[in-house]
Chains A and B, each alone.
Chain A
């Protein structure tokens, strides 16, 4: 057993990248949990597929004007990809909130680990969920006839951009997940955030078809620029400007919401 001294055990003496190791350990925890509860992956597997098929076959003909769903697919797929990844960031907030309610975080908060580690761990662990959603949708897209018309390299780059965007946006949910009392509360606010972000954008339709007030919103909405970037990289079009705006949004989201989340984590009792 241990010695009686109050010395810090040698193994715990501060190591320079301890916070990174701790974050990875906690990310591993989240991945183990996903393996344990595969049904929790429904929101990144079945849901996106349903959305894709719904828009493609039900609205596809109408939205594509004279064309068929074949003509709509290249336009729609990058959009649905963004939509489902944006939606799955919500799960990060809900899961964090539930973890807190169960008391697991009491354990983490009483351990001598970096304050950011549980949060970064949650975000990194969820990268697996976002990646699942991307892989599932791209596979479905390819089966339906979608091709990277702008080269495979650019297509994969597009997938990376949307993944990074999700990892930035999810800090909003991390913050809300810590700030709100219950998981229901987090879910309740989801519509307030998600609908303007996704439907008030160019995910499904060209923004020129929208009424004036919505058009002004889409010009601010980062999702519009992300979708433009994705389409540019996947099927061709202007990339540089939307990519820069998207990157700026990503930096902004992390710069604002990561510190807010860490503060909420410290304050939460």
Chain B
């Protein structure tokens, strides 16, 4: 049995090459039992590769990893006993009904027929697929397939769960449902490693976050730590009159000593500041100039801004690319 009950997943120096592409370039990670690790990164960062190695689908070229205390290469059959895996692309059998898909997995796991059926019904219900349960999966929408795939990875009550972009392509309602399910699983003690393109998702679910870029870990920590790591806070001012944007920008620039960015679309002036000391000055000057504002705030940077600071390129274009990909 496992010697380490505190650490569910640990990896050291994972390397995976595809020809001349280095998908993973020395990744270390540790996930304590019962916690959620969120892996963020742009397309091609190596997230899926890492999940496939930890899920025993792929052998690393170098480095090693243990899951539940078992080596993912040498003790792969043991690892498979305790993991559940939902890959980036749904791996359901399109030529069978959703219910049969789940029953089949129960049977493969050695559950008796009646228990397999009960389990399938429970999971169909939890993922709101009961009505569609007897329909052939080919007729499911993309989001329904993803939910079925998620259900399939839960049939065996895994104690460690990998979710590769579990909510990509889901509508907001279904996404909330998946989030709730993940939270409940974690309450029950399940360890979760999830990859996502949505910074918001990692922020909402993860105890700690890793940012991958080009096969390397470029940042890690708790969501709040990461935000702090990106450094500066941001001072935002939104004038009541969009016509006052330029005057507000001038006032802020003078008070802070840095030229702010002016977002004309959102009628927002924002400037990075190291602390809150310039805030009262800005308030006084605005008051003297008789300019009304609808918003004046000092905030930590959003994860999007963190992402930009850490990887040197914006996360936004990546999420857009994914949304486009999902809608095709």
Residues of B within 8 A of A32 (CB): 95-96, 100
Q: Mark B82-93, 1 if CB is under 8 A from A, else 0.
A: 111101011111
Question: Once the chains bind, are B156 and A9 in contact (CB under 8 Å)?
Answer: yes
CB distance from A209 to the nearest CB of B (A): 45
* Residue A106 lies at the interface, judged by CB distance under 8 Å to chain B: yes
Question: Once the chains bind, are B87 and A103 in contact (CB under 8 Å)?
Answer: yes
Question: Once the chains bind, are B80 and A110 in contact (CB under 8 Å)?
Answer: yes
Residues of A within 8 A of B111 (CB): 11
Q: Which of A17-25, A62-70, A75-83, A168-176 sits within the interface?
A: A17-25
CB distance from A244 to the nearest CB of B (A): 39
Residues of A within 8 A of B265 (CB): none
* Residue B77 lies at the interface, judged by CB distance under 8 Å to chain A: yes
Q: Mark A107-120, 1 if CB is under 8 A from B, else 0.
A: 11111110001000
Question: Once the chains bind, are B156 and A33 in contact (CB under 8 Å)?
Answer: no
* Residue B136 lies at the interface, judged by CB distance under 8 Å to chain A: yes
> Which residue from chain A places its CB closest to the CB of B79 in the assembled complex?
A112
Give which listed residue, A7, A22, A102, A269, contacts B57 with CB less than 8 A: A269
With A and B bound together, what is the CA distance between A11 and B156 in angstroms? 10
Question: Once the chains bind, are A111 and B108 in contact (CB under 8 Å)?
Answer: yes
CB distance from A92 to the nearest CB of B (A): 16
Question: Once the chains bind, are B159 and A103 in contact (CB under 8 Å)?
Answer: no
Question: Once the chains bind, are B104 and A110 in contact (CB under 8 Å)?
Answer: no
Q: Mark A1-32, 1 if CB is under 8 A from B, else 0.
A: 11111111101100100100110011011001
* Residue B69 lies at the interface, judged by CB distance under 8 Å to chain A: yes
Q: Mark B14-33, 1 if CB is under 8 A from A, else 0.
A: 00000000000000000001
* Residue A36 lies at the interface, judged by CB distance under 8 Å to chain B: yes
Residues of B within 8 A of A112 (CB): 77, 80-81, 109, 156
Main secondary structure of the interface of B (DSSP, over half): loop
* Residue B221 lies at the interface, judged by CB distance under 8 Å to chain A: no
Question: Once the chains bind, are B159 and A21 in contact (CB under 8 Å)?
Answer: no
CB distance from A96 to the nearest CB of B (A): 13
* Residue B258 lies at the interface, judged by CB distance under 8 Å to chain A: no
* Residue A37 lies at the interface, judged by CB distance under 8 Å to chain B: yes
Residues of B within 8 A of A50 (CB): none
Q: Which of B185-193, B204-212, B270-278, B281-289 sits within the interface?
A: B185-193
Question: Once the chains bind, are A111 and B109 in contact (CB under 8 Å)?
Answer: yes
Question: Once the chains bind, are A269 and B189 in contact (CB under 8 Å)?
Answer: no
Q: Give the number of chain B interface residues (Cβ < 8 Å).
A: 51
Residues of A within 8 A of B84 (CB): 110
* Residue A192 lies at the interface, judged by CB distance under 8 Å to chain B: no
* Residue B260 lies at the interface, judged by CB distance under 8 Å to chain A: no
With A and B bound together, what is the CA distance between A102 and B96 in angstroms? 14
- A167-222 residues with Cβ-Cβ distance < 8 A to B are none
CB distance from A98 to the nearest CB of B (A): 11
Q: Mark B213-257, 1 if CB is under 8 A from A, else 0.
A: 000000000000000000000000000000000000000000000
- B303-317 residues with Cβ-Cβ distance < 8 A to A are none
Question: Once the chains bind, are A6 and B184 in contact (CB under 8 Å)?
Answer: no
Question: Once the chains bind, are B188 and A4 in contact (CB under 8 Å)?
Answer: yes
CB distance from A168 to the nearest CB of B (A): 26
Residues of A within 8 A of B160 (CB): 6
With A and B bound together, what is the CA distance between A125 and B69 in angstroms? 37
* Residue A143 lies at the interface, judged by CB distance under 8 Å to chain B: no
Question: Once the chains bind, are A2 and B77 in contact (CB under 8 Å)?
Answer: no
With A and B bound together, what is the CA distance between A233 and B95 in angstroms? 39
* Residue B259 lies at the interface, judged by CB distance under 8 Å to chain A: no
Residues of B within 8 A of A102 (CB): 91, 94
With A and B bound together, what is the CA distance between A2 and B184 in angstroms? 11
Residues of A within 8 A of B5 (CB): 6
Question: Once the chains bind, are B87 and A18 in contact (CB under 8 Å)?
Answer: no
Give which listed residue, B80, B89, B107, contacts A25 with CB less than 8 A: B107
* Residue B196 lies at the interface, judged by CB distance under 8 Å to chain A: no
* Residue B141 lies at the interface, judged by CB distance under 8 Å to chain A: no
* Residue B2 lies at the interface, judged by CB distance under 8 Å to chain A: yes
Give which listed residue, B69, B89, B96, B189, contacts A103 with CB less than 8 A: B89
* Residue B157 lies at the interface, judged by CB distance under 8 Å to chain A: yes
Question: Once the chains bind, are A1 and B185 in contact (CB under 8 Å)?
Answer: yes
Question: Once the chains bind, are A6 and B89 in contact (CB under 8 Å)?
Answer: no
Residues of B within 8 A of A28 (CB): 104
> Which residue from chain B places its CB closest to the CB of A13 in the assembled complex?
B110
Chain A residues close to B by CB (< 8 Å):
1-9, 11-12, 15, 18, 21-22, 25-26, 28-29, 32-33, 36-37, 102-113, 117, 269
Chain B residues close to A by CB (< 8 Å):
1-2, 5, 8, 33-34, 52, 55-58, 68-69, 77, 80-85, 87, 89-96, 100, 104-105, 107-112, 115, 136, 152, 156-160, 184-185, 188-190
Lowest 6 CB-CB distances: which A-B pairs, in order? A4-B189, A2-B157, A103-B91, A112-B80, A107-B91, A33-B95
Given A2-B158, A110-B84, A112-B80, list of 17 further CB < 8 A pairs? A2-B159, A2-B188, A4-B190, A6-B8, A6-B82, A9-B156, A11-B109, A33-B93, A33-B96, A37-B95, A104-B93, A107-B91, A110-B56, A110-B80, A110-B85, A111-B109, A269-B52
7 A-B contacts (beta carbon < 8 Å):
A4-B34, A11-B109, A25-B104, A25-B108, A36-B96, A107-B85, A112-B81
